[in-house]
């Protein structure tokens, strides 16, 4: 992907080498191996130069004589900021004595994580790269430490990777960690997966050929490949299905990548004309993406020789996004995103990642010393999202519980400020109506409308509350308000 390091990156490597000189990892290798591995991971994810440099320097503040000022002077504010964030994240973790009280999260650690994160999501991406390399080299640590790091990776970092839709990372992390958390089970399940794949091998080759021929006949350009089932996700699925392996339908899976959405649906049709689809196993995550923005069509079929095979059909772009998630967005919009981060603007994130905006606003509140309801904060990160549509079909993601005004302010504050009514699925509705998954929401506006204090009662998201308060404050400066604006609604 990259031909040659830039002078800045080369310089960062030099600085890190010098700083870590004489230090060794538990593996016995010189310490610099680790930051260089993190560099490589970040490059593979397609991250921007500042992130890569910060990755190279990520352990210098904590472990060497280098200071934040040194880094700022040589590499600029943005790199210093990222290194500082990663350092804060690890100091937040040093306080944990016992993993069981730390997990699922002590409030303090969680808070610090959020504050560091809120400033720049790239901090988390560096941390994930750091953790990935540490997991890859975990065997050098004493068993007790191995378990601790592995458990934390399974319960905190892998779910975060999933939240960012970094599928490839989630799978690698979870499987590496699961091996240490439960070695016996890991072995057992790996064998099952291997056996299944072996028994399906011939049949899969046959299917690949049949589908390939059919797609060629329809002049659809495609790539087809097997996908490896992750051991940890099988473990979790089995737990959900009373350990009944016969209820797991995606042990064998084929992935088909085509040029565009139309071809995805055409391919689905072709597959169903060749094999018998299983009822209730068709999932259209293209029309309704998963919470983390994942898109694909899934269908499970039964082949002529009675094999159960799951297909995943998606475009190249959906595939990149499923594998690399937020990192892929950086790759596609690198310049734009980085520029906007520098300017403190985050509006150009893909819509399905707007939860990050909410996170950042919450972090800003925390920094200003304002009160934040931690329960609500957790909700923003992990709660269910719903996807609703504009009449034109744009997908907007909102937290469960969102109301029409949240939707309106998400579109634009100009729209939010002038709401006079709402149509949900073509019918007139009211502003107290909770939006539901798949609703088509049309906001009616009037130029003469002005925002009302009472609207604060009809708002669920911090984002919309913030926008509304902003306008209310502006307006009250120009005229005497009839009554004072209440701070935040009690829930």
Give percent helix, percent strand, percent coil of the chain, each to the nearest 5: 60, 10, 30
Q: Shortest Cβ contact with Mn ion: which residue?
A: 130
> In this chain, which stretch among 51-59, 188-196, 219-227, 306-314 interacts with Mn ion, using CB under 5 A?
51-59
Positions 185 through 244 that interact with Mn ion (CB under 5 A)? none
- Answer yes or no whether residue 59 interacts with Mn ion by CB under 5 A: yes
Residue 347 backbone phi and psi in degrees, to 5: -70, -15
Annotated catalytic residue, options 21, 50, 59, 62? 62
Positions 111 through 150 that interact with Mn ion (CB under 5 A)? 130
Contact 13, 30 (CB under 8 A): no
CB of 146 vs Mn ion, minimal distance in Å:
16
> In this chain, which stretch among 54-62, 79-87, 205-213, 365-373 interacts with Mn ion, using CB under 5 A?
54-62
Taking residue 246's Cβ as centre, other Cβ atoms within 10 Å add up to 7
Query: Closest CB to Mn ion among 58 and 163?
Result: 58
Q: Locate 458 and state its tokens.
A: 């009809």
- Nearest CA to 442 among 408, 466, 413? 408
> In this chain, which stretch among 56-64, 234-242, 363-371, 463-471 interacts with Mn ion, using CB under 5 A?
56-64
Query: Closest CB to Mn ion among 123 and 459?
Result: 123
Residue 424 backbone phi and psi in degrees, to 5: -110, 125
d(CA 267, CA 376): 42
- Answer yes or no whether residue 84 interacts with Mn ion by CB under 5 A: no
CB of 58 vs Mn ion, minimal distance in Å:
6
Instruction: Note if the bond before 104 is cis, omega within 30 degrees.
Output: yes
CB of 55 vs Mn ion, minimal distance in Å:
9
CB of 63 vs Mn ion, minimal distance in Å:
8
Helix ranges, 67-182 (H): 68-75, 77-94, 99-102, 107-119, 122-136, 143-152, 158-163, 167-181
CB of 7 vs Mn ion, minimal distance in Å:
24
- Answer yes or no whether residue 20 interacts with Mn ion by CB under 5 A: no
CB of 12 vs Mn ion, minimal distance in Å:
15
Taking residue 356's Cβ as centre, other Cβ atoms within 10 Å add up to 21
Site size with Mn ion, rule: CB under 5 A: 2
Query: Closest CB to Mn ion among 23 and 191?
Result: 23
Query: Closest CB to Mn ion among 21 and 436?
Result: 21
CB of 2 vs Mn ion, minimal distance in Å:
22
Residues 6+ apart with CB under 8 A from 315: 257, 258, 259, 260, 261, 263, 264
d(CA 110, CA 378): 9
Query: Closest CB to Mn ion among 48 and 59?
Result: 59
Q: x/- string (CB under 5 A) for Mn ion, residues 435-454?
A: --------------------
Contact 174, 232 (CB under 8 A): yes
62 is catalytic: yes
CB of 236 vs Mn ion, minimal distance in Å:
28
Query: Closest CB to Mn ion among 130 and 310?
Result: 130
Annotated catalytic residue, options 5, 21, 50, 63? 63
Contact 37, 45 (CB under 8 A): no
Query: Closest CB to Mn ion among 63 and 284?
Result: 63
Rounded to the nearest angstrom, the gap between the alpha carbon of residue 202 and the centroid of all alpha carbons in its chain is 36
Taking residue 490's Cβ as centre, other Cβ atoms within 10 Å add up to 6
Query: Closest CB to Mn ion among 59 and 358?
Result: 59
d(CA 36, CA 422): 54
> In this chain, which stretch among 58-66, 377-385, 473-481, 483-491 interacts with Mn ion, using CB under 5 A?
58-66
Contact 25, 33 (CB under 8 A): yes
155 is catalytic: no
- Nearest CA to 55 among 325, 327, 292? 327
User: Is 281 exposed, middle or buried (CB count within 10 Å of its CB: 0-12, 13-18, 19+)?
Assistant: middle
Interacting residue ranges for Mn ion, rule: CB under 5 A? 59, 130
Active site residues: 62-63
């Amino acid at each position: 992907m990259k031909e040659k390091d830039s002078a800045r990156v080369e310089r960062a490597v030099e600085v890190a080498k010098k700083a870590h000189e004489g230090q060794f990892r538990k593996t016995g290798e010189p310490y610099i191996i680790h930051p260089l591995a993190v560099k490589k991971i970040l490059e593979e994810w397609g991250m921007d130069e500042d992130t890569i440099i910060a990755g190279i320097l990520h352990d210098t503040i904590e472990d060497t004589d280098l200071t934040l000022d040194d880094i700022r002077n040589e590499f600029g504010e943005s790199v210093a900021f990222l290194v500082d964030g990663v350092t804060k994240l690890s100091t937040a973790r040093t306080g944990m004595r016992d993993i069981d009280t730390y997990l699922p999260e002590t409030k303090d650690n969680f808070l610090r994580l959020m504050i560091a994160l809120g400033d720049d999501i790239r901090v988390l991406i560096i941390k994930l790269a750091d953790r990935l390399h540490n997991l890859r080299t975990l065997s050098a640590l004493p068993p007790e430490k191995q378990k601790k790091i592995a458990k934390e990776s399974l319960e905190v970092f892998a779910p975060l990777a999933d939240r960012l839709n970094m599928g490839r990372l989630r799978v690698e992390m979870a499987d590496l960690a699961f091996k240490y958390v439960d070695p016996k089970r890991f072995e057992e399940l790996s064998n099952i997966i291997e056996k299944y794949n072996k028994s399906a091998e011939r049949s899969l080759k046959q299917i690949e050929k049949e589908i390939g021929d059919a797609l060629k006949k329809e002049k659809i350009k495609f790539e087809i490949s097997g996908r490896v089932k992750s051991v940890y996700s099988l473990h979790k699925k089995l737990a959900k299905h009373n350990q009944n392996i016969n209820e797991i339908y995606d042990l064998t899976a084929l992935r088909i990548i085509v040029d565009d959405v139309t071809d995805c649906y055409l391919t689905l049709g072709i597959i169903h004309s060749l094999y018998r689809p299983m009822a209730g196993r068709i999932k259209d995550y293209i029309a309704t993406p998963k919470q983390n923005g994942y898109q694909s069509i899934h269908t499970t079929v039964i082949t002529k020789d009675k094999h159960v095979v799951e297909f995943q059909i998606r475009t190249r772009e959906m595939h990149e996004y499923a594998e690399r998630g937020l990192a892929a967005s950086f790759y596609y919009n690198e310049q734009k995103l980085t520029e906007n981060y520098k300017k403190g603007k985050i509006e150009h994130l893909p819509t399905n990642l707007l939860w990050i905006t909410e996170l950042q606003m919450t972090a800003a509140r925390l920094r200003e010393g304002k009160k934040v309801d931690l329960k609500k904060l957790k909700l923003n990160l992990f709660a269910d999202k719903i996807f609703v549509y504009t009449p034109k079909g744009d997908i907007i993601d909102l937290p469960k519980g969102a109301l029409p005004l949240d939707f309106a302010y998400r579109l634009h504050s100009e729209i939010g400020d002038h709401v006079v009514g709402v149509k949900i699925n073509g019918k007139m509705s009211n502003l107290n109506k909770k939006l539901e998954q798949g609703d088509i929401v049309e906001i009616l506006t009037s130029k003469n409308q002005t925002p009302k204090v009472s609207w604060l009662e009809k708002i669920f998201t911090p984002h919309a509350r913030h926008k509304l308060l902003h306008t209310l404050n502006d307006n009250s400066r120009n005229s005497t308000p009839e009554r004072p604006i209440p701070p935040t609604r009690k829930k």
